[in-house]
Amino acid sequence: MKTSFGIDVGGSGIKGAVVNLDTGEFVGDRIKISTPKPATPEAVASTVAEIVEQAGWEGPVGITLPSIVKGQMVLSAANVDKSWIGVDAYELFHRHLGSDRHISVLNDADAAGLAEVAFGDTKAKEGPVIFLTIGTGIGSALLLDGKLWPNAELGHLIVGDDEAEHQASSAVKEDKDLSFKKWAKHVNRVLHEYEALFNPNLFIIGGGISRRFEKWGPHLTIKTEVVPAHLRNKAGIIGAAMAVTRDIAP
What average pLDDT does the segment 52-74 reach? 95
Helix (H) or strand (E) holding 150: none
Q: Is the pLDDT of residue 247 over 60?
A: no
- The reported pLDDT for the residue numbered 56 is 96
Integer CA distances (angstroms), 83 to 75, 170, 173, in order = 10, 25, 27
Give the CATH number of the domain where residue 24 resides. Answer: 3.30.420.40
**pLDDT tens sequence across 17-42:** 999 999 999 999 999 999 999 999 99
Q: Residue range 168-196: average pLDDT?
A: 97
Question: Residue 127 domain-assigned?
Answer: yes
Q: What is the dihedral of CA 123, 240, 86, 31, to 10 degrees?
A: 120
pLDDT per position as a tens digit, 197-239: 999 999 999 988 999 999 999 999 999 999 999 998 899 999 9
Question: Is there a domain that residue 162 lies in?
Answer: yes
236: exposed, middle or buried (Cβ count in 10 Å: 0-12, 13-18, 19+): buried
pTM value is 0.91
Cis peptide before 250 (omega within 30 of 0): no
What is d(CA 28, CA 11) in angstroms, rounded to the nearest whole number?
24
As a whole number of angstroms, the distance between CA 27 and CA 33 comes to: 18
Give the mean pLDDT of the chain.
Answer: 94
**96-101 average pLDDT score:** 95
Answer yes or no: do 103 and 147 share one domain.
no
C-alpha 55/C-alpha 29 separation (Å) is: 9
Considering the domain architecture, whether residues 179 and 209 belong to the same structural domain is answered as yes
- Poorest-pLDDT segment among 51-55, 68-72, 85-89, 180-184: 68-72
Task: Specify whether 63 is located in the same domain as 129.
Answer: no
Measuring CA to CA, which residue among 138, 162, 41 is closest to residue 96? 41
What pLDDT is attached to residue 249? 42
Q: Flag whether 116 is in a domain.
A: no
- Residue 100: give the domain boundaries: 3-109+234-246
Model confidence at 136, in pLDDT bands (50, 70, 90)? confident
217 and 238 both lie in a single domain: no
Fill in the DSSP letter of residue 36. P
Nearest to 236 by CA among 84, 62, 68, 81: 62
Together in a domain, 38 and 98: yes
**d(C-alpha 126, C-alpha 143), whole Å:** 9
Determine the pLDDT at residue 20: 97
Amino acid 207: pLDDT: 87
Q: Answer whether residue 101 shows pLDDT above 80.
A: yes
| Whole-number CA gyration radius for the chain | 17
Structural domain count, the chain: 2
Q: Do 203 and 238 reside in the same domain of the chain?
A: no
Q: What is the pLDDT of residue 179?
A: 97
Q: Looking at the structure, do residues 31 and 101 belong to the same domain, yes or no? A: yes
Q: Under DSSP, is residue 176 helix (H, G, I), strand (E, B) or coil?
A: coil
